[in-house]
Amino acid sequence: MHLGPCLLSREEIAETVAALAREISDDYRDRVSEESPLLLVGILKGAVVFMSDLMRELSIPVSLDFMAVSSYGASTESTGVVRILHDLDTPIEHRHVIIVEDIVDTGLTLQYLREHFKSRGPASLRVVALLDKPERRSANVAVEYVGRAIPDDFVVGYGLDWDQKYRDLPCVRIVCDDEGEGSV
């Protein structure tokens, strides 16, 4: 296995994040305030880099919280079983909440998170994902803000990892097999 070509460059990522931030800011401008900011919930660990850039691009008041869940382990395939490793510290009842995901693949984790959050009574609940693999979707789950749809290749960089490696890459790269093909 080795790293293949860049799927999204640093510049393409920055443009995508800025466009998402403009859309979210426009949608929430009249619904949030300094007293009741938009709550961004980053799904650890992959969404940290994306969320950091996104929050700096937003032109509305925001606050942050994080949640750690697992459905992968050290594999490149989801197990389908979602475990909460760290829950929210912030109550979300009557708050406008956006779940921040690095990538939506099968949608199983996101489906679980949406149900989990809805039971807590938020004023609104939406999802922003930098990357989306619609071909892989096995759960019918809404993603209101999508940065880029990508092919069904395993990707790393910009927070996305392969067994806890490559999160620090400034671009998103495809992981290839030994023959140079994607989709590890």
Q: Per residue in 140-157, pLDDT tens?
A: 999 999 999 999 999 999
Is 30 a residue of the active site? no
- The answer to whether residue 183 scores a pLDDT higher than 60 is no
Strands (DSSP E) found in 29-161: 38-44, 62-70, 83-86, 96-104, 124-132, 145-149, 155-156
Question: Is the residue at 87 inside a domain?
Answer: yes
Lowest mean pLDDT among 19-33, 61-75, 160-174: 61-75
Q: What is the number of domains present in the chain?
A: 1
- The answer to whether residue 5 scores a pLDDT higher than 90 is no
The CATH number for 68's domain is 3.40.50.2020
Q: What is the pLDDT of residues 49-87, one digit of tens each?
A: 999 999 999 999 999 999 999 875 544 555 567 888 998
Q: Which two tokens stand for residue 88?
A: 């929210």
Q: Are 92 and 120 in contact (CB under 8 A)?
A: yes
First vs last C-alpha separation in the chain: 8
Question: Is the residue at 2 inside a domain?
Answer: no
Catalytic residue among 102, 105, 161, 178: 105
CB-side neighbour CA atoms (13 Å) of 113: 32
Tell me the C-alpha distance between 54 and 52, whole Å: 6
Q: pTM of the full predicted structure? A: 0.90
Domain containing 92: what range? 10-151
Q: What is the pLDDT of residue 83?
A: 84
